[in-house]
Homo-oligomer: A and B are copies of this chain.
Amino acid sequence: MSPDAAQRSVLRAADELFYAHGISGVVMSDIRDASGVSMRRLYAMYPSKSELVAAWLTDRHDTWMAWFAASVERHVAGGADPVLATFDAIAEWVTTPGYRGCAFINSLAETSEVDDTHRTIIAAHKRDLVEHLAQLAARGHSNAPSWFPAALAVIVDGAIVQCTIFASTDPLDAARSAVHQLLETIPT
């Protein structure tokens, strides 16, 4: 297996396993078994589990943001409002089999207070999400109040969490209704 293929295989295994079972629910030999990469090579690539987790989070940030942006644009191309298209994208995600909430929120719950590396990646992910939502809001709702993007991010994260807890899309629908109502009151 080429170094590149090994790297991809490990990150794919890490994503499936860490997302499904949580960080402490996955042991290094699970990663080896799922990726087919030997312990020796695994530790040559990532000198500790913590660094593998950091690499996974970084990779997942890129992958997820790219997926999210593409999904939103697809719905915008179909005629949706850029802000409301956010909820169409999240609805797709939430109804995916194996959905278990936001990997970053979940990982934060498992991250001890001393591990700054993981926290930093997690916060950067959410900062990027807020920024992306701000750009969506700027398209077509250019005079939304300054708190709007941050509020939108709060609502999106709340919906992601509650859809996990209730195993239902009802919270997402309520969130969409609230944002729809909010947009009505914003002069274009």
Which residues of A line the B interface, CB within 8 A? 20-22, 24-25, 100-101, 104-110, 112-113, 122-123, 126-127, 145, 147-148, 150-151, 153-159, 161-162, 164-166, 170-171, 173-175, 177-178, 181-182, 184-185
- 13 A-B pairs within 8 Å (CB atoms) are namely A20-B113, A21-B112, A21-B113, A22-B112, A24-B110, A25-B110, A100-B113, A106-B109, A108-B164, A122-B165, A126-B162, A151-B174, A184-B185
List, in ascending order, chain B residues with CB within 8 A of A174's CB.
Answer: 147-148, 150-151, 153-154
Question: Complex: how many Å from CA A157 to CA B157?
Answer: 8
A contact patch SS: helix
Question: Complex: how many Å from CA A171 to CA B127?
Answer: 11
Question: Complex: how many Å from CA A150 to CA B112?
Answer: 31
Is the beta-carbon distance between B147 and A178 smaller than 8 angstroms?
yes
Nearest opposing residue in chain B for A175, CB measure? B154
List, in ascending order, chain B residues with CB within 8 A of A109's CB.
Answer: 22, 101, 105-110
List, in ascending order, chain B residues with CB within 8 A of A106's CB.
Answer: 109
Question: Complex: how many Å from CA A109 to CA B103?
Answer: 9
List, in ascending order, chain B residues with CB within 8 A of A154's CB.
Answer: 155, 158-159, 162, 171, 174-175, 178
Is the beta-carbon distance between B158 and A126 smaller than 8 angstroms?
no
List, in ascending order, chain B residues with CB within 8 A of A122's CB.
Answer: 165
